[in-house]
Amino acid sequence: MSWNLEGKRVNGFYMGQFPYTGMVVESRVKYGGQVQHTVQVDAPFEVYGSVRDRVLVSTTEINRILSPQGV
pLDDT at 68 over 80: no
Q: Cα(49)–Cα(10) distance, rounded to whole angstroms?
A: 24
pLDDT at 13 over 60: yes
Number of domains in the chain: 1
2 domain residue, yes or no = no
For β-strands 18-29 and 9-14, DSSP reports them as antiparallel
30 domain residue, yes or no = yes
pLDDT at 60 over 60: yes
21 domain residue, yes or no = yes
User: How much is the pLDDT for 1?
Assistant: 60
Which position has the higher pLDDT, 69 or 61? 61
pLDDT at 57 over 60: yes
Start-to-end CA span in the chain (Å): 17
Q: Which amino acid is at 70?
A: G
As a whole number, the mean pLDDT across the chain is 92
% residues pLDDT > 70 (the chain) = 93
29 domain residue, yes or no = yes
What's the domain range around 52?
9-65
